[in-house]
């Protein structure tokens, strides 16, 4: 009966015995789709051939430069993507069992091999390898999900507000480049004197390291605010934390920090290399004048930031956001929304509605964090 392989494979045979190698090649020629075979006589030669194109490896465990499980371990290390079948003699069948426990997909006793058995063993080894890789990917995905959940809890805290006079809404969405949270962070804290402190920030870059740095900065900001530290002194402390925790000197952070007075009628802001907040006051839409008030954190050690005093009045809404919102491509021409486009969009809508804005901009190219704080007149 003719042996059958499901697909044309690229196979590496590591075998120092010419007769055994010839037998394997002849048996595989009987397959319905004979594999492409590369034959080498030593482990050292084999390791040089173990490229990503090799899908399956048949390796003898009695080689001139490696024997037993030592040979297998080196093959597994050099080709983690490939299915591995071990070839043994009658006297070494127990070694084959140990090889499977050590990571090989299967083993074959040379004296018992025929064309159908060899083809079937290769096919099954390939399927087991696919299953093993799928399981590893599943475990990695689960670990990523757990890490994201931990990062999300750090990046997206519960606001510490004890007033009913403000409506407070936040949104955090990943960009199109992946599901991992990046370094955007936000927080809101009301101190005992009634002042409401808000921060939103963006660590440059994407990935777990940037997200972890965002968490560190967010927690540091909350701690400093609760300890009574504000203004430039707070920013310089955050700058020191950033420089101590970042993995590379080119990492910087933009942020916007606002303190709303206890009567909720005025705000004092510092826009640190960050997009300007959007305001709606008595139906008039604008952005904070004078922004940015200074450079991002992590660039200049002697940086200073201008204080922006912003009158709010009795009825107002204020949106702080990261650049993922204004860098979204909108319209048929897929042009960047930009700050002016965002202001026009808010004017068109008549008010700031985070969900409506996000639906309008569609696919985000970068991560988006946003805080909307509103006060309605009594």
Which pLDDT value is given to residue 361?
A: 79
Mean pLDDT of the region 157-178: 83
Higher pLDDT, residue 331 or 157: 157
Could you tell me which residue, 152 or 225, shows the higher pLDDT?
Answer: 225
Whole-number Å distance between alpha carbons of 243 and 250: 10
pLDDT of residue 313: 92
Among the ranges given (32-41, 174-183, 223-232, 268-277), the one the predictor scored with the smallest mean pLDDT: 174-183
Helix (H, G, I), strand (E, B) or coil at 163: coil
In this predicted structure, the answer to whether residue 68 has a pLDDT above a threshold of 90 is: no
Which pair of tokens denotes residue 14? 């590591």
Q: Determine contact, residues 162/194, Cβ cutoff 8 Å.
A: no
CA distances from 74 to 10, 38, 133, 180, 355 (A): 19, 18, 19, 34, 54
Per-residue pLDDT, averaged over 241-250, amounts to 94
**b/e code 301-311 from CB counts within 10 Å (16+ = b):** eebebeebebe
- What is the maximum alpha-carbon separation in the chain? 95
Six-digit token pair at 297? 């954190």
In the chain, the domains with their CATH numbers are 10-136 (3.40.50.2300), 156-375 (3.60.40.10)
In the chain, % of residues over pLDDT 90: 42
- Higher-confidence residue: 144 or 197? 197
Residue 315: pLDDT over 50? yes
pLDDT tens digits for range 50-61: 888 899 999 998
């Amino acid at each position: 009966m003719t042996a059958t392989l499901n697909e044309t494979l690229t196979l590496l045979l590591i075998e120092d015995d010419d007769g055994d190698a010839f037998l394997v090649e002849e048996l595989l020629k009987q397959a319905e789709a004979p594999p492409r075979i590369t034959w080498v006589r030593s482990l050292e030669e084999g390791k040089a051939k173990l490229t990503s194109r090799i899908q399956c490896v048949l390796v003898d465990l009695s080689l001139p430069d490696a024997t037993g499980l030592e040979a297998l371990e080196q093959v597994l290390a050099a080709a983690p993507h490939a299915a591995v079948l071990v070839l043994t003699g009658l006297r070494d069948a127990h070694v084959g069992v140990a090889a499977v426990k050590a990571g090989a997909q299967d083993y074959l006793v040379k004296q018992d091999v025929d064309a159908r058995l060899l083809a079937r063993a290769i096919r099954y080894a390939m399927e087991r390898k696919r299953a093993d890789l799928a399981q590893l990917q599943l475990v990695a995905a689960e670990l990523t999900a757990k890490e994201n959940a931990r990062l999300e809890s750090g990046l997206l805290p519960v606001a510490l507000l004890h007033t009913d006079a403000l409506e407070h809404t936040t949104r955090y969405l990943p960009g199109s480049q992946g599901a991992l949270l990046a370094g955007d962070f936000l927080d809101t804290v009301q101190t005992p004197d009634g002042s409401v402190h808000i921060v939103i920030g963006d660590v440059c870059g994407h990935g777990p390291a940037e997200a972890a740095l965002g968490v560190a900065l967010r927690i540091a900001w909350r701690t400093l605010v609760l300890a009574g530290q504000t203004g430039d002194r707070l920013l310089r402390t955050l700058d020191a934390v950033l420089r101590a925790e970042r993995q590379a000197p080119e990492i910087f952070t933009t942020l916007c920090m606002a303190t709303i007075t206890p009567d909720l009628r005025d705000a004092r802001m510092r826009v640190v290399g960050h997009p300007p907040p959007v305001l709606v006051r008595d139906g008039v839409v604008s952005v904070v004048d004078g922004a940015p008030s200074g450079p991002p954190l992590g660039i200049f050690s002697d940086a200073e930031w201008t204080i922006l005093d912003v009158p709010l009045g009795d009825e107002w809404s204020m949106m702080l956001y990261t650049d993922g919102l204004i860098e979204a491509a909108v319209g048929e021409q897929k042009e960047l929304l930009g700050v002016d486009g965002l202001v026009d969009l808010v004017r068109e809508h008549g008010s700031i509605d985070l969900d409506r804005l996000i639906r309008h901009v569609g696919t985000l190219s970068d991560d988006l964090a946003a805080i909307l704080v509103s006060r309605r007149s009594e």
